[in-house]
Amino acid sequence: MAKWERRDVVVRTTATGHELTAPVFTAQGRQERPIAYVQANVHGGELQGNAAILGLFDLLESAPLRGTIVLVPRVNPISANQQVGDYVAGVYDLLTGVNFNRGYLYLTGPSRSASAACYVDVDSFAAAHLSAPIGEIRSGFREALKAALAAIEEEAAAWGADSRLDFALSIQKMAVDADLVLDLHTGDRAPRYLYAPEGAVAAARAFGLPFVLEVPARFGGALDEASFVPWQDLSDAFRRLGRDDVPRLVDGFTVELGSMNEFSLEAGREDARRIASALRYYGVLDGEPDAPLGPITACSAADYRSLHAPVGGLVDLAVRPGTRVKAGDVVARLADPSRCRSLPPRAGDAVFEVRAPEDGVALLFHAFSSVPKGARLFSMMTKTRPL
């Protein structure tokens, strides 16, 4: 039987002194490690991850838990409450303008401050641990990452941490202990798909999601990158010194669970089943991962291309999200009655057809049915291959 604990983490304090908190549920099995950290709803309108975590609550009543799992639903009460009428404006922080999932700290990259203590020099660490066993490398590097976070927090104290930094620290201090980090999101209008680190093929297959975008070890500010890129940097540093048996010891994934502003407890149970399969792959749960139920299509994140609306208009989708298309296929139509210049007006004059520039999968579409010229209309997987 797993041992459960709950605590609440403050992610922001309002002008009136109220603390906005995220609930953190921790279940420990027979041993402490491996540790999985799973969070949901960092963007206010991306709700389905909460259903997946609720599904995991139920699943963990009977699933044999070997390691530890940390579950954080409603991780961002700031964005969840950025509501204007019926619309949740939850991707960007209205206080700073920063995407909540682009402000995390690159702990092995160039220092974000004047102090070298605020990041980890992987080359120096690898040189100092060149003959150390893997377990010692793993624990020592994790402590170095924790020390970097503490140094950043201490250095910011004199002048005060800005809101972006304060939020990033609150999340990364929870996630830094984990061997596996899962950040549960949704797309605008999209099927279920996965952002996976390059090379994590078997792990990506364990999720069983039909589409996979493979992410190189380059930092762009997202939590999955903040979690796995430092460990890839470390592996690369050992390789430069001639030691090639130190793999990337931590993986981070962004799990996209359908479309924003949709929430289904029933679908959440299936999402939990897929996540549990990945947890078994990583040894957090006992057992073997499930075999994928169908084919999995992958491409590099660099080949995930966005088409921007060539004209403004009202969006009529010609294909469903997740549909394979050929170059030249009509993917969407943009209708604007103001384009009807001749009388009597004809509906056909209002419609502009948008076609796929390449072969691929039309994966994600604009969230709303009205777009201005230049807005992202849809994003496509190109240069695809079976995973």
Q: Are strands 83-84 and 68-72 parallel, antiparallel or unpaired?
A: unpaired
Q: What is the distance, to the nearest Å, from the Cα of residue 26 to the centroid of all Cα atoms in its chain?
A: 20
Find the helix packing angle between 163-175 and 134-157, rounded to 10°: 160
The first and second tokens of residue 343, run together, are 């009388």
Contacts of 87 (CB under 8 A, 6+ apart): 45
Note if the bond before 344 is cis, omega within 30 degrees.
yes
Query: Can you give the pLDDT of all 387 residues of the chain as single tens digits?
Result: 789 999 999 999 999 999 999 999 999 999 999 999 999 999 999 999 999 999 999 999 999 999 999 999 999 999 999 998 888 889 999 999 999 999 999 999 864 544 556 889 999 999 999 999 999 999 999 999 999 999 999 999 999 999 999 999 999 999 999 999 999 999 999 999 999 999 999 999 999 999 999 999 999 999 999 999 999 999 999 999 999 999 999 999 999 999 999 999 999 999 999 999 999 999 999 999 999 999 999 999 999 999 999 999 999 999 999 999 999 999 999 999 999 999 999 999 999 999 999 999 999 999 999 999 999 999 999 999 999
CA distance 24 to 8: 6
365 alpha carbon, distance to own chain's centre: 18
Residue 314 β-bridge partners: 335, 370
Q: Which domains does the chain have, with CATH numbers?
A: 3-294 (3.40.630.10), 302-386 (2.40.50.100)
